[in-house]
Structures are given as C-alpha cells and as structure tokens.
Amino acid sequence: MKRTWLLFTQTVTIALAVYFVVSVFKPQWVGRPSFGGGVVSLLEAPQTPLTTPEAGSLSGAAKKAAPAVVSITTSKTAVRNPRMNDPWFRFFFGNQAPSQPQAGLGSGVIVSPEGYILTNNHVVEGADEIEVMLPDSRQARARLIGTDPETDLAIVKIDLDKLPIIVLGDSDRIEVGDRVLAIGNPFGVGQTVTSGIVSALGRNQLGINTFENFIQTDAAINPGNSGGALVDVRGTLLGINTAIFSRSGGSMGIGFAIPVSTAKRVLESIVRDGRVTYGWIGVEPGELSPELAETFGVKASRGVIITGVLQAGPAAAAGIRPGDVIVQVGDKPIANVAELLSSVAALQPGSPAAFGLMRGDSKIEVPVTPAVRPARARLQQQQQQE
C-alpha cells in the first residue's frame, strides 16, 4: 500500500511539472493565453481582426478614392527678354539674365482607364511641362488635352497601365449637411484627406469663373488642393476642388468645388470635340430691381431684365427686346443673371429652347435657337453680352 501511494504521488508531481512547462512555452496546447518570458504580453494576446471600419469612420471612402487622386507639378521655362537682341538696349541696360523658371503645384483626379485626368485650368495654364505623380509613387509626363477657362477646368492625359479610377457620383442629388472628404496635395506635403460637410449649394457671383455653380464646403482646402477631389462617404466624386475664401492664404473653412456634373460635361466635350461649346443668345442681362421694373413698365418680381439686345443675334431673331424679363429657360426658373448665364450656356447650339418672358403685365413664351458662344475676347468687345 505504501509503495502504491509513493508511485501515485510521483506520477502526479511529474504530470504537474509537465503541465507547467507546456503552459509556459506552448500555452496554445492547453488553451491558455500566451506568456512571454513568464510575463503576460498584451500585444501578443489574441486580437479580433477588423473586417469593417469603426462606426463613423470615413476610412473606407478615403481608401476607395485616394488612389485616383494625383499630384501635379508644372514648370515654365525661363523667358529671355526679346529686347536683348537690340544692341542699344544692351548698351543702356546691360546683359540681363533670363527670368527664373517657374514651378507650380496642384492636384488632379484620374477619371478613365485611358489616363484622362481632371484638374483646374489655373493649375496647368501656361505650363511647358506637366508631371503627374500617383500615390503609388509612379510618375509620368502628362499631355494637355484641352482647357475650358470659362469653368476653370482642364484635361490632361498620362500613359500608364493599371490606373486607379475614381467613380463619378451625382452632384445633383447632394444636400446641405452631407458629409464630404477633400483629397489633394496641399502645400506639396503629400496626399492629405480632410473632412467636413456640404455648407451650401449653387454658390455664384463670386467672380472666379464665367459660369459658377459651386459646392461650398468647410472641409479644409489649401493651396495645392486645386484640382483635387471632393468625394462623398462612399468615395464617389462629387466635385473638383477649385478655390478658397481666405484672408491669410490658408483654409478658413470656406472652400469651393466645381460639381462633377459640370466637370463630366466639359470632359466629354473636350475628349470628343477638342473644345467646349456653350449656348449664346446675344442679350445684355441685368439684375431685376424695382426701379428697373418701373422704368420698363414690367410687372415682374423675379427674373432677369434685358437691357440690351444684339442686332442679328439669336434673341433679336426670336423677338426678345429690351425691357423683357426672362423668368424661365426650358423648365428651369431664372432668378438672377448667374442662373441665366449657366442655363443658356447649357443649351445645345442650333436646338430651339423655350424662354418664358414677362413683357409688361403679360407672360409669354418664345422659342430661341441659341448660337455658339463667341470666344472670351470677342465677348469683351461685345460688352459681355449674353
């Protein structure tokens, strides 16, 4: 009996020793948490893999959109004063060195597998060379395909394989208060993502572009962000970041983006035709005021009053005359000059459109066939007639 008890105690002792050694060096064999050197390591504790972003996180949208947002670097070669060929100029002023080369920074958005990139016209305007860098560190020389100074948009193209493409969203369905992200390369520090909300829609009369219909956001936009992407919480493109309101040069929470609906139309026109065509009817519009309404004897409380009509222009041919108030173009109501400019510009040249007018105290409708909007220089000569 004594011998049996001794054998039992020895067996239990050896079993406990084996269990202790195994639990220290191979804890997974006995279902215990891992030990490191005898001390529990929290970093080595089993972790639950994160398969979805944390609630409220915008990381999914950023990961989806950011690969398609590129950095654009432009350069202008030094310019030699043409008067340096004149010996008398050199005699009096000496040999002057050429002006220093200029460089610029901006952003762009890849919108097609063929390598078309949307950016701002002011980012690439006058550039002799355009370099594009992708977030994956690939670089390529870009070709300028076309520009539209009227909307401050431009299209450049790169030739690279397996390009990340951003998904175009619907800027006509967004609402004030929707959450958005601004992605770009501010100050050349590298790709940066900021967040905010849509602060306002349809901003115009800012004096930035000829045709203005900006999305306003409080997402931080700084120099270098121009041409970058404004995206929604799904990572789809809502607009092209274009301008900021600032007294210091930095973000003050008031930024403006061109809606993707406008950018898409400009992209398609430039790629298809090499330029963008806008409708034009040849009138001189003015904001309607009680004084003007009384002067012209018109009974209208809203709309755009016509103070001048270009002879032989589309509006004159349709019978529009000074004193008429345009209150509607197609099915879109008109409240101010900016809305009239945008609505007329969106018309297809050569295709008649219905214009709703107030003439005196009568409302009439006339069909107007718009022509192609003249170049900006000619418009200035025509006193900015629309």
Catalytic residues: 122, 152, 226
How far apart are alpha carbons 288 and 62 in whole angstroms? 45
Buried b (16+ CB within 10 A) or exposed e, 258-283: bbbbbbebbbebbeeeeebebbbbbb
Q: What six digits make up the tokens of 137?
A: 């560190």
Instruction: Determine contact, residues 355/318, Cβ cutoff 8 Å.
Output: yes
Nearest to 71 by CA among 212, 184, 196: 184
Contact by Cβ (8 Å): 316, 282: yes
Which amino acid, 152? D
| b/e 103-125 (16+ beta carbons within 10 angstroms → b) | ebbbbbbbbbeebbbbbbbbbbe
Q: Are 134 and 68 in contact (CB under 8 A)?
A: no
Q: Identify which of 231, 227, 207 has the alpha carbon closest to the alpha carbon of residue 217.
A: 231
Alpha-carbon distance of 221 to 252, in angstroms, equals 9
Among the listed residues 312, 313, 344, 317, the one whose alpha carbon sits nearest the alpha carbon of residue 328: 344
- Quote the tokens at residue 199: 């602060």
